[in-house]
Each structure stands twice: as C-alpha cells, then as structure tokens.
Structure 1
Amino acid sequence: MHAIGIIPARYASTRLPGKPLIDLGGKSMIRRVVEQAQRSSLSRVVVATDDERIQRHVESFGGEALLTAPDHPSGTDRVRDAYQQLGISADCIINIQGDEPFIHPAQIDALVQLFNRSTPPQLATLVKPVVSDEELFSPHLPKVVLDTQGYAMYFSRHPLPYQRQYPSADWLLHHRYLRHIGLYAYRPDVLEEITQLSPSPLELAESLEQLRWLENGYRILTAETELATLGIDTPEDVERALMQLKANGEEVDS
C-alpha cells in the first residue's frame, strides 16, 4: 500500500492571518501537523501551500513542501495540484487539515486501511460519536448519517435524523449520532474527477464540499474514531490548544 499525505496550508485567514505559522508551545501549527502525520503509516507527507513563507518554514525543520497556485477554491483542489506536481503514483491520497495540530496517527491509518480492501473505496473520511448536546447542535460540527455498510448518506450542519417523537434535549438518549471529522482519502483517479465538478445545490446550501461528491453519485466510505480533534480557527482556539498541550504534559510558556 502506497499512501501519501498532503496537507493544504493557506497563509490567508480572515480570523487568523498566517495561521499555519502560529506558535503553539514552541512549534508552529503546521509543524505539529506534519510531525503527527509522519508518525502514521504514510510513505510520504507533503505540505501544499500558496505562500513561500510557509514553504521555507516547513523546509527549515526538514519537512517537504510544494508551492501551489494561489487561487484554489478548496483544499481538495490544492491537494490535486500538489499530487500532480509530485508526478508519482499512489494507491490513496490522504488530505490532512493543516489546522489540526492534534490529528492522531491512528486516525490517518484508519483511512489508509480502508484502501487495503479488494475493492478500494472511491473516497473515505472519518466519523466520531457525538457525546454532548453542545456537539450535536453546533453548526460548526457537521453531522453525518450512514447506510448499513458504513457509507455516508448525507452530511449536515443540523442534527440528523430529526426525532419527531422526542424533545431535542432527549435526542442523544434515543439515537447514536455521528459527527464528521474532516480528514479525507481519495483514490487518485477519483481526486482528478471530483475537482472537475461544479459546486452543487446541496453543497451551497450547507457549505459542505463533500455534498458535491454525493450529489454527483460518488460514494464515501467511513471509518470511526473515538479520538477527539481540535481545529484552530480563532484566537480562542489557540488558547484551547495551549491548554491541551499543557494537559498532555508539554512545557508551554504562559
């Protein structure tokens, strides 16, 4: 199995400019993502960036980085750009979010394992059980419903299913909800195909790119994880990340 990881990392961010280079306890966020990915079974880990500052920084700690076009509409398009530049053949490509410094190697490996099947999936992603009402009703944490074979049927920022017979405060007592973890895996040929698709009505309604793929007939297999992640989008997220590093036993300057 030849699986490679590509980490899209844009410099621009409305709420956190230069987000990949933000210091988290003595290491940049992008370095933490790269080092976590390198602990997995991936044969190669590459950062795909639109900015030379990020490229130079990644190379300064021994990582590999490629400059991609600056105007890609999504991380998926940036991943495709980087894969084409690499000029190699892989069994699967893992798109690792550049703002997930606590991504666990086991989460990456869970997706890689799906491609060891006799018939590899077209696409794959991670799901995690919802454990609180805060998670369930947060529009920032997309939920997913699966079929009996573990393929995604739909993603939504709203809790699905709607339980008509119970008050919403009791929904978690009567149904096992799953939230989506934004780690994706693609067959190379499928990655090429999906980046040619136009935005779809469901995608535009929910602002969730993966709905474009479902709406066009692609199937997304899921693997389940119990491990939590923490995406960094705001200054408050940075503070939470520093607290998590302290809880993990790292020395973090106040």
Structure 2
Amino acid sequence: MKPIIIIPVRLKSTRLPEKPLQDICGKPMIQHVWEQAVSAQLGPVVVACDSEPVKSIIQNLGGTAVMTDPDLPSGSDRIYAALKSFDSDHQFNTIINLQGDLPNFPPKLLKETLPPLEDSTVDIVTMATEIKSTEERDNPNVVKVVLARNIDHRSERALYFSRHPIPSGPGPHYHHVGIYTYRRTALERFIKLAPSPLEIQERLEQLRALEAGMRIDAILIDQAPWGVDTPEDLERMRTLLKASN
C-alpha cells in the first residue's frame, strides 16, 4: 500500500464561521490537524481547500494545499478532486480522509486503518467506538453503526449506519467515527455513483457505498475524538489543548 493523507477543508460553516481559521492555543485549527497528519509519517499530506487563507497557511508551513471547487457537494468529492490534481499519475493507491475539524486526533490511529485492506474484499475502512451512555446513543447528531462482530478479524464489517439507535434491544451500540481509508479504486467508484435512496433518507453518504455492494469495515477504538463544530466545541478544545501543553 502507498498511502496519502488528504484533509478536506471548507471555509464556510453555518455553526462556526471560518472554522479552519479559528485560533486554538496560538495556531489556526487547520494547522493543528495538518501537524497531526504529518506526524503520522504514512505518506504525503495534502489539504484540499476552497479558500486562499487556508492555502496560504499550509504553504507557509511548507505543506501542500490544493484548491478545489467550493461548490463540491461533499468532503469525498473534495478529496477526490485534490487527489486527481496532486497525483495524476496514480502513484498512491490508498487514500486516508482525515477530517479538518479534529485538531487533537491521535496520529497512530491512522496507521491502524491500513491492515484491514490486506483483505481484498474490503473497500473502505473507518472507525467506531462503543457508546457509553444513553444520551450518546439517543443523540441524532451521533451516527451509529451496526457491526458484524468477529473477534478473529482485524476489523468488523459495517452492516448499516443511522442517526437513530440501532440495533434495537439490549446489547452494545457503536458510535461511528467519520475517518475513512479508501482503496483508490473504491474512492473512484464511489464518487461516480449517484446519491442513493438510503443516503438521502438518512443524510449519510456512506450508505451510498453499502447500497452499491461495497464493503466497509470498522476498526474499534477506545474513544471517539472530539470534533469542533460549534463555538462551544471550540472553547472546549482550547481548554483541552492548553491543559495538555
């Protein structure tokens, strides 16, 4: 496998304006995410952005930023556009999509998404963690994933994703963590697919892959990373990173 990490970044955000530029302990948030990705030492790190301010930040750090169309519908479309621009001769066959609002994401977890792709039937690898509270389980902003558990495998096959508590009945529930590692061929196939009925109904694009018969596996991690989506999240992240420095 020849991995490349691509970080999709969109400047406009309804809940937190100019989110990637927000200062956290003296650095813009996108710099924190970029530094975490670089420290993983898995391959090139490319920021797929739609604004000159973000591009300038990354380039001033000595990094690579690729401008993408601000009207692209999703982060998946943005990473694919950046991939085509940066790697037109197909040197890299494994694409890690690291979200741009995870400034303290543990870099070592990115490496753990690679071994499941040694199974040729796996198209995409993501992450999940067991839900610990009823509040988390019932929160529609927390995406749940049903896993076909198999302790002999490196990862668990994802059967379905939903914003509602699934499955019903007693037993564990799993919080989906939206980091994706794609085979390049899988990403190319996924981007060409039209939005699927379940994807539209649940507002979850990973269902497009499942409806098309693609296989998504999830590695289990101890805790879901904190993302920054709101001003409250931003203050919490500032406090967290300040305490850790």
Query: TM over 0.5, yes or no?
Result: yes
Deviations 1:171-230 (A, max 9, x none): xxx412111000001111111111111111111111111011111111101111113311
CA contact (8 A) 1:142 1:157 kept: yes
Instruction: Provide TM-score, normalisation by structure 2.
Output: 0.93
Tell me whether 1:161 sits opposite 2:167 in the alignment. Answer: yes
Instruction: Provide TM-score, normalisation by structure 1.
Output: 0.90
CA contact (8 A) 1:122 1:218 kept: yes
In the TM superposition, what are the counterparts of 1:152-191 in structure 2 within 5 Å? Answer: 152-163=158-169, 174-191=170-187
Deviations 1:77-111 (A, max 9, x none): 00000110112422310000001112111221111
Deviations 1:2-50 (A, max 9, x none): 1110000011111222111110111111111111111114211110001
2:22 partner letter? I
The residue that corresponds to 2:32 in the other structure is 32
Tell me whether 1:60 sits opposite 2:60 in the alignment. Answer: yes
Relative to structure 1, the CA distance from residue 153 to residue 22 in structure 2 (aligned partners, 3 Å threshold; closer, same or farther) is: same
How many residues of Structure 1 are paired with residues of Structure 2 in the alignment?
A: 238
The residue that corresponds to 2:96 in the other structure is 94
Partner-residue secondary structure (3-state), 1:14: coil
Residue 210 of structure 1, aligned match among 206, 218, 228:
206
Partner-residue secondary structure (3-state), 2:115: helix
CA contact (8 A) 2:125 2:182 kept: yes
CA contact (8 A) 1:114 1:120 kept: no
In the TM superposition, what are the counterparts of 1:48-87 in structure 2 within 5 Å? Answer: 48-86=48-86, 87=88
Relative to structure 1, the CA distance from residue 243 to residue 134 in structure 2 (aligned partners, 3 Å threshold; closer, same or farther) is: farther
CA contact (8 A) 2:8 2:49 kept: yes
How many angstroms does 1:118 deviate by?
A: 5.1
CA distance in 2, matches of 1:175, 1:247: 35
CA contact (8 A) 1:11 1:17 kept: yes
The residue that corresponds to 1:131 in the other structure is 132
CA contact (8 A) 2:128 2:224 kept: no
Query: Unaligned regions of 5+ residues in structure 2, if any?
Result: 151-155
CA distance in 2, matches of 1:135, 1:103: 20
The residue that corresponds to 2:11 in the other structure is 11
How many angstroms does 1:120 deviate by?
A: 6.2
In the TM superposition, what are the counterparts of 1:169-248 in structure 2 within 5 Å? Answer: 174-248=170-244
CA contact (8 A) 1:127 1:225 kept: yes
2:27 partner letter? K
The residue that corresponds to 2:153 in the other structure is none
How many angstroms does 1:121 deviate by?
A: 2.0
CA distance in 1, matches of 2:66, 2:81: 9
2:108 partner letter? A
CA distance in 2, matches of 1:102, 1:205: 32
Partner-residue secondary structure (3-state), 2:62: coil
Partner-residue secondary structure (3-state), 1:97: coil
CA contact (8 A) 2:79 2:97 kept: yes
CA distance in 2, matches of 1:70, 1:82: 12
Query: Unaligned regions of 5+ residues in structure 1, if any?
Result: 164-173
CA contact (8 A) 1:40 1:108 kept: yes
